[in-house]
Amino acid sequence: MPDLVRQHLIDPEICIRCETCAEMCTRDAISYDGVNVVVDFNKCTYSMDCIAPCPTGAIDNWVMVEKPYSLEQQFDWDELPADVGAEPADDEAEAMEDEVSKMLEVAHAGAGGASRRPVTSSQPRVNLYTRASPVVAEVQGNYRITDADAESDVRHIILDLGGNALPVLEGQSLGVVPPGADGQGRKHHMRLYSVCSPRDGERPNHNNIAFTVKRVVEQRDDGVFRGIASNYMCDLSRGDRIELTGPYGNTFLMPDNPEANIIMVCTGTGSAPFRAMTERRRRTMPNAPGKLLLFFGARTPGELPYFGPLMKLPDSLIQRELVFSREPGRPKEYVQDRIHKCSDQVAALLESGQTHIYVCGLKGMEEGVETALEEVCSGHGLDWRALRNVMRDEGRLHVETY
């Protein structure tokens, strides 16, 4: 794969030429020639100071290029050039794309067919790095985020990308291939992990990302050990280097619209993309009128990833509906039970054309959530089957379960 650099561009079709971005840029990287507002590649440091103040979102465009576009080229544009991300370079890359598409097809099957990306989401970049040409990141930290005495060992793993460009949106995944081979000398399978940090980095404006990984330890009856990738990830130490492929996924993306209501339903580590989406909202539009409503299930509070940080988020940003299935002395509760309990509120949100639903986590939860939504709708004069088709076609219904 050729050496690529990440270039920040402004979409001339959407830009209203208010020049707020130029005022915010402390590097003097943004200029206006009376026709287009453009970014100087040689001055831009990806500080992101210009992103949030832009009233239209025209500012938020990133491309991977071999040679950056000059100011003269950008002044000439009526529209952004077609996606110039790296093309799959060889058969291996194409085979891997197929493998990932199949994995995502299975994971997304619950939406009742292929979902679309939200109309207002940013344009995702996909397949920039392959198994043959992965991007190498360095482990910055690996922290346990379930209680020390909890049964599940869930890790928050932060990776520093150094000088490598890896544009990734909330809801996208990256591939990890554990090093080494199985007992028969075959390379290990790739595993997909959702990125749990927002697009501007785990730490704002740092070129880093984070994953949420649960250690899987399972010896199957046929003798196969499940959990090679998760154990490799959970055992990483600061300074270790790890190869990543991707990014993958072009539909499970968040709307970039402050009016959008986002209902998020997850179990366990299925919370990863929702951490990214919530953090994106918190950083860029903390006072958005659109609601964030999270249904999150775990065995106990100590087993719920990010329990502490989640409880610190302001109520004005997010409504948390945390449910626990194995809390001593309390009846078992699943996310679908809580959806029932919140049925008036859920129904009111479903009536709005601005509402998006995302479901992520255990495959088994899908059916229960589907039934709960159907019952909530029928109790409020709505037809869930018809509504889900509309929501799917409008890019407002997204399911990713494994």
Q: Rule CB under 6 A: which residues touch ligand NAP?
A: 152, 193-194, 212-214, 267-270, 272, 297-299, 325-326, 334-335, 360-362, 364-365, 368, 400, 402
Nearer to ligand NAP, 59 or 310 (CB): 310
Query: What does the block give as tokens for 392?
Result: 């799917």
DSSP 8-state code for residue 187? B
Among 103, 51, 61, which Cα is nearest to 82's?
61
Packing angle, helices 343-350 and 365-378, rounded to 10: 80
Nearer to ligand NAP, 86 or 107 (CB): 107
| CB of 212 vs ligand NAP, minimal distance in Å | 5
N-to-C CA span, the chain: 31
Nearer to ligand NAP, 50 or 103 (CB): 103
| CB of 211 vs ligand NAP, minimal distance in Å | 6
| CB of 304 vs ligand NAP, minimal distance in Å | 8
According to DSSP, the β-strands at 173-176 and 241-248 are antiparallel
Given a contact cutoff of 8 angstroms between Cβ atoms, the answer to whether 244 and 138 are in contact is no
Nearer to ligand NAP, 103 or 128 (CB): 103
Among 254, 271, 285, which Cα is nearest to 356's?
254
Given a contact cutoff of 8 angstroms between Cβ atoms, the answer to whether 176 and 189 are in contact is no
Q: Residue 26 burial by CB count (10 A; 0-12/13-18/19+): exposed, middle or buried? A: exposed
Nearer to ligand NAP, 43 or 363 (CB): 363
Nearer to ligand NAP, 4 or 244 (CB): 244
What region does 57 belong to: left with phi over 0, alpha with psi -120 to 50, or beta? left
Given a contact cutoff of 8 angstroms between Cβ atoms, the answer to whether 73 and 58 are in contact is no
| CB of 38 vs ligand NAP, minimal distance in Å | 37
| CB of 337 vs ligand NAP, minimal distance in Å | 9
Beta carbons within 8 Å of 312's beta carbon, 6+ residues apart: none
What region does 377 belong to: left with phi over 0, alpha with psi -120 to 50, or beta? alpha
Nearer to ligand NAP, 69 or 306 (CB): 306
Nearer to ligand NAP, 129 or 324 (CB): 324
| CB of 364 vs ligand NAP, minimal distance in Å | 3
Given a contact cutoff of 8 angstroms between Cβ atoms, the answer to whether 176 and 242 are in contact is yes
Q: Where are the alpha helices (DSSP H) in 16-172?
A: 20-24, 71-75, 91-107
179 C-beta neighbours (distance < 10 Å), count: 9
Nearer to ligand NAP, 9 or 339 (CB): 339
Nearer to ligand NAP, 169 or 213 (CB): 213
| CB of 367 vs ligand NAP, minimal distance in Å | 7
- Residue closest to ligand NAP, measured at CB: 268
Among 374, 367, 386, 317, which Cα is nearest to 343's?
374
| CB of 386 vs ligand NAP, minimal distance in Å | 25
| CB of 291 vs ligand NAP, minimal distance in Å | 22
| CB of 55 vs ligand NAP, minimal distance in Å | 33
Residues 319-340 as b or e (16 or more Cβ within 10 Å = b): eebbbbbebeeeeebbbbbbbb
Nearer to ligand NAP, 129 or 334 (CB): 334
Q: Where are the alpha helices (DSSP H) in 205-363?
A: 228-234, 272-284, 307-312, 335-341, 343-350
| CB of 44 vs ligand NAP, minimal distance in Å | 31
Given a contact cutoff of 8 angstroms between Cβ atoms, the answer to whether 142 and 234 are in contact is yes
Query: What does the block give as tokens for 42?
Result: 């040689």
